[in-house]
Amino acid sequence: MAQEIKIVSVSIPAGLVRELDRVCDLEHRNRSELYREALRQYLKLRRWQALREYSSAKAAAAGSDGIDIEKLIEELNA
């Protein structure tokens, strides 16, 4: 089933557009493809960073509780 596509209008500095257009030429992709890919990667990275922040806090709390994180990693390797 085809994905619903919405057309949006955004403002982008001309210099950045020129840079992105150079990448389009290099990779033989159109602007829409490149912008979609950039947005997907940004959203994934943001999602990962949120997980990292949560996990780091949990690791710190576990360390305070005397849990040996290095040992946990070794257990997962076993």
Partner 1 sequence: MPEMSTQEGERIAIETAIWLEALLFGGSAEELIKMSLTGRVRLVGTEVQITRLLEVLRDRLGFSEAALREVRGFVEDQVEIVTPGPQPAAGVLEPLPPILQAARHGSVTAIATTGRSSLLSLESFEGIPIVSMA
- Token output for 48: 């990962």
Query: Is 73 a residue that touches partner 1 (CB under 8 A)?
Result: yes
Q: Which stretch binds partner 1 (CB under 8 A): 3-11, 15-23, 26-34, 44-52?
A: 44-52
Quickly tell me which residue has 């290099």 as its tokens. Answer: 26
State in angstroms the smallest separation of the CB of 42 from partner 1.
10
Helix H or strand E segment including 39: helix 31-64
Applying the rule CB under 8 A, the residues between 1 and 40 that interact with partner 1 are: none
Quickly tell me which residue has 């159109």 as its tokens. Answer: 30
Residue 14 or 75: which CB sits closer to partner 1?
Answer: 75
